[in-house]
């Protein structure tokens, strides 16, 4: 493959950063051909020369001018799942940071990728830019792993550390975490262990 033609689905905070980074780095042979968004008229503060913007997300999976689909929509089901399935069936490589999708449908999607001779890349789904998945699956492939130690969820780590070191109560510490931007307005995903469980399942 002389060139890498990319379609990005979901151009929110992360998707916009990916697009801007690809444009800034000017990776030789890599071009963004299509971007799928909810609101095609929204000003995102950057432009992608010669790329097509669409509200039809599945268009990326069917497009002849896309080799790699970058899924940054989120969610375990719905359009994110449809997009990844369709892309793999159509023999397109997929990159995703969607741990919810992979935790629920990872085995099926990995089999689809293998059966269609495609790559399903999901390093960014766990620990952001730290190559945890690659280290475990490739670098330590011959080892038996019995335990993984680490901070699996920074929101919980902050809350528990504050409670232990300062003797603060849970509600107070959660409020501080929200004010600092560590916790979402609805912290359920973090504080009930869903985020950590999904990371471990990958």
Q: Which class does domain 4-138 fall in? A: alpha beta
Coil vs helix vs strand at 135 = helix
pTM: 0.75
CATH 3.40.50.720 intervals, the chain: 4-138
Residues classed as catalytic: 199
Order of strands across the sheet that contains 4-9: 52-54, 30-36, 4-9, 68-71, 93-96, 120-121
3-state SS assignment for residue 99: helix
Q: What is the pLDDT of residues 144-193, one digit of tens each?
A: 778 777 777 778 788 888 888 888 888 888 888 888 877 767 777 677 66
DSSP code for 89: H
Give pLDDT tens digits for 45-94.
777 777 788 888 888 888 888 898 888 888 888 889 999 999 999 999 99
């Amino acid at each position: 493959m002389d060139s890498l033609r990319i379609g990005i689905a979901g151009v929110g905070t992360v998707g916009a950063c990916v697009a801007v980074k690809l444009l800034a780095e000017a990776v030789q042979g890599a071009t963004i051909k299509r971007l799928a968004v909810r609101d095609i008229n929204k000003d995102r503060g950057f432009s992608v020369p010669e790329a097509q913007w669409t509200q039809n997300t599945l268009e990326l999976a069917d497009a002849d001018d896309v080799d790699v689909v970058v899924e940054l929509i989120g969610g375990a089901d719905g359009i994110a799942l449809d997009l990844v399935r369709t892309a793999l069936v159509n023999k397109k490589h997929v990159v995703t940071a969607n741990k919810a999708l992979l935790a629920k449908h990872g085995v099926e999607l990995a089999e689809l990728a293998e059966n269609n001779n495609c790559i399903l890349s999901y390093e960014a789904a766990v620990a952001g830019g730290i190559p945890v998945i690659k280290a475990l699956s490739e670098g330590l492939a011959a080892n038996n792993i019995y335990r993984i130690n680490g901070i699996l969820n920074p929101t919980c780590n902050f809350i528990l550390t504050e409670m232990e070191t300062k003797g603060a109560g849970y509600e107070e510490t959660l409020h501080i975490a929200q004010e600092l931007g560590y916790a979402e307005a609805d912290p359920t995903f973090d504080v009930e262990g869903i985020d950590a469980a999904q990371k471990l399942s990958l």
